[in-house]
């Protein structure tokens, strides 16, 4: 967790939050390992599952949300480091290079948490893993491109409504 000057922990948009979601993703895909790029894609799909015809999204449908794909990579990397340091995930050499996977400690840790958000997060992660785990890279890229194209359209729409030239 990031601490502020007043020593209050920052939870939202922090490595802790990104690490928790990544941990839940990896637990849902266990015993398979996945690379950072796939974790990033799955994390986005879990939070915005309704955008692709899945269950209700965990987060509200804010404009320009597809842009999250561009800015969350560093945060997720920091979150993975946090979970690695606690022994909740492992880093392995997989077919796509460095990949991550849940450990034997992941499941009991996640099951010890009972907030409504965590329960929904686990359900969405299981849905994403069941639906997209065996998509090829090109299939996942096509799916994510649809989201990115929507973001580009939203961005142009906002620019035009504000009077800015695009």
Tokens of 5: 């000057």
Residue that wins the pLDDT comparison between 140 and 154: 140
Task: Give the CA diameter of the chain.
Answer: 54
pLDDT of res. 42: 95
The DSSP result for 41-105, as a single string, is: HHHHHHHTGGGGT-SPPSS---TTGGGHHHHSHHHHHHHHHHHHHTTSEEEEEETTEEEEEE-TT
Roughly what angle, to the nearest 10 degrees, separates helices 36-47 and 137-161?
50
The DSSP result for 15-37, as a single string, is: HHHHHHHHHHHHHHHTTS-EEHH
Find the helix or strand (DSSP H, E) in which 131 lies: helix 116-132
% residues pLDDT > 70 (the chain): 77
- Please say if the pLDDT value at position 165 is more than 50: no
- Please say if the pLDDT value at position 127 is more than 90: yes
Residues 106, 100, 79: CA angle, nearest 5 degrees: 70
Grouping H, G, I as helix, E, B as strand and the rest as coil, residue 10 is strand
2-3 and 9-10 strand pairing: antiparallel
- Residue 51: pLDDT band (50, 70, 90) is confident
């Amino acid at each position: 967790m990031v601490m502020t000057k007043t020593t209050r922990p920052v939870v939202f948009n922090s490595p802790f939050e990104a690490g928790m979601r990544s941990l839940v993703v990896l637990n849902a895909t266990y015993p398979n390992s996945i690379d950072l790029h796939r974790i990033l894609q799955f994390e986005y799909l879990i939070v915005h599952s309704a955008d692709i015809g899945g269950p209700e999204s965990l987060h509200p449908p804010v404009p320009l949300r597809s842009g999250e794909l561009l800015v969350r990579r560093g945060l997720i990397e920091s979150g993975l480091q946090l979970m690695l340091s606690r022994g909740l995930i492992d880093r392995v050499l997989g077919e796509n290079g460095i990949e991550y996977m849940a450990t034997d400690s992941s499941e009991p840790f996640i099951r010890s948490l009972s907030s409504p958000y965590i329960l929904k997060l686990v359900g969405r992660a299981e849905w994403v893993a069941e639906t997209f785990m065996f998509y090829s890279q090109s299939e996942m890229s096509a799916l994510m491109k649809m989201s990115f194209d929507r973001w580009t359209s939203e961005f142009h729409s906002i620019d035009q409504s504000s009077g800015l030239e695009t």
